[in-house]
Amino acid sequence: MSPTPAARTPRAALAELLSGNRRFVSGQPVHGHDVTAAAAVASGDQQPYAVVLGCIDSRVPLEAIFDQTFGSICVIRTGAHVLDRAVCGSIEYVVGQLGVRLVMVLGHERCGAVGSAVDSLRSGRRPGGALGYVVDRITPAVREVGADDPDAHPLAVRRHVRRTVAALRADDLLAGPVAAGEVAVVGALYDLATGEVALLPEE
């Protein structure tokens, strides 16, 4: 199902994405089980209306939780949706070349990567290797909410989403379209217990 012309605005794209999540939660997906090769071939040229940046967590399959079919959304997944140049460049591409009008940053409860950052600050032990890079990118959010706060983990999940949204809105190639209202960058949270996606209110 290609997006209609109405879905080519940020508001309509967001409405379509959240409508898919409601279908998923209600157990009445339109696309959720049609993952055959024939369905992929039938999708034709891609006409995505949104890009979702989410976590690698195996419990959060992005196309499924938004009930989307082949060609409808672009998906990028990193640990705790951490940004790097490849991620930013990929988002710049789909916005600039494919006409995507909505960028969603999706965090989720009980995120292991955020938990690693909280544990790292509390223990004073930074992980080695590339995992240290991921933790370093999440650490500012943990510092802002306070690593010693008993609710540091859920608070940092939300703070990290908001920081990622702010960074994308300030991106060199996205800032202009965002300011003009041509593209929207929004933050949201996925509830592992209910399957629901909730938008984070603006601060």
What is the per-residue pLDDT across 24-75, written as a single tens digit (0 to 9) for each? 999 888 876 555 556 666 656 678 999 999 999 999 999 999 999 888 899 9
pLDDT at 29: 83
Compute CA distances 60 → 48, 69, 91, 168, whole Å.
Answer: 20, 16, 20, 22
How do residues 89-110 score in pLDDT, each as one tens digit? 999 999 999 999 999 999 999 9
How do residues 167-197 score in pLDDT, each as one tens digit? 999 999 999 999 999 999 999 999 999 999 9
pLDDT at 101: 95
Distance of CA 131 to the CA centre of its chain: 20
Which tokens hold the place of 60? 């959060």
pLDDT at 36: 57
pLDDT at 181: 96
Instruction: List, in sequence order, the alpha helices (H) in the chain.
Output: 10-26, 37-42, 62-65, 85-98, 112-123, 129-145, 152-169, 175-179
Place 17 in a pLDDT band, splitting at 50, 70 and 90: very high
Cβ 76 vs Cβ 87: under 8 Å = yes
Closest residue by Cα to residue 80 from 176, 159, 195, 27: 159
C-alpha span between 30 and 45 (Å, rounded): 20
Distance of CA 124 to the CA centre of its chain: 29
How do residues 74-86 score in pLDDT, each as one tens digit? 999 999 999 999 9
Is the pTM higher than 0.95? no
How do residues 118-171 score in pLDDT, each as one tens digit? 999 999 999 999 999 999 999 999 999 999 999 999 999 999 999 999 999 999
Closest residue by Cα to residue 121 from 94, 146, 157, 95: 146
